[in-house]
Chain A
């Protein structure tokens, strides 16, 4: 089955700097790659997603890039703010099947 790797497990940046979080996946058939933000004790919130027919997608301060050949995708957050501090999960799925999640990364934005 699909295996999604997410490294590192923690990331600390200074407010205003950019943060980049990378994930790799194993199944070349995966074609949907969402990113979720989860605050403590709450449900995951979809922040951006990308499908395999697109190489990059941007939404204000957040962007996602996909490299199908290397089987990795990255989340880019620019001009980070303290409220961006949370756990971020990448995920992958094939069509309408279930999501396989990465282990998550705790992002800390220092004021």
Chain B
């Protein structure tokens, strides 16, 4: 089946640094990728919708200058958490929608811990 690879799977960084998370569709093309954030014991909350070749659409309350999203190709979207703070510590999950079938596939998730 289709695979969405997310890297890194976990990362620890110091406050004030930036962290980049990659989301790749390995065997299909995705015009649209979605970035979610999940705090412990909570649901997945949509952060932004990423479309290939255009600017991401951010959900209300999500700072676009803090969470930079780039979707430069049909198989890769990146989320950069800039000037990270401890409250940004969370599980970040991407999902990609297949261009051909419309099916949605989730990445493995990236656990970010900001010290």
Q: Which residues of A contact B (CB under 8 A)?
A: 34, 41-46, 89, 96, 98-104
Contact = CB atoms under 8 A, between A and B. Distances in A.
B43 A43 contact: no
A103 B32 CA distance: 24
B47 to A, nearest CB: 10
Interface stretch (B66-74, B80-88, B106-114): B106-114
Contacts of B93: 43-44
B19 interface: no
B86 to A, nearest CB: 19
A99 B108 contact: no
Contacts of B97: 96
Contact of A98 (B34, B43, B107): B34
- Which bracket fits the contact residues of B? 10 to 19
Nearest to A34: B104
* A interface: dominant SS: loop
Interface of B: 32, 34, 42-46, 49, 91, 93, 95, 97, 102, 104, 106-109, 111
A41 B9 CA distance: 10
A98 B56 CA distance: 13
A21 B108 CA distance: 25
A46 B45 CA distance: 17
A44 B43 contact: no
Contacts of B43: 89, 101-104
Contacts of A96: 32, 97, 102
29 contacts: A34-B104, A41-B91, A41-B109, A41-B111, A42-B108, A42-B109, A43-B93, A43-B106, A43-B108, A43-B109, A44-B93, A89-B43, A89-B44, A96-B32, A96-B97, A96-B102, A98-B34, A98-B46, A98-B49, A99-B34, A99-B44, A99-B46, A99-B104, A100-B46, A101-B43, A101-B44, A101-B45, A102-B43, A103-B43
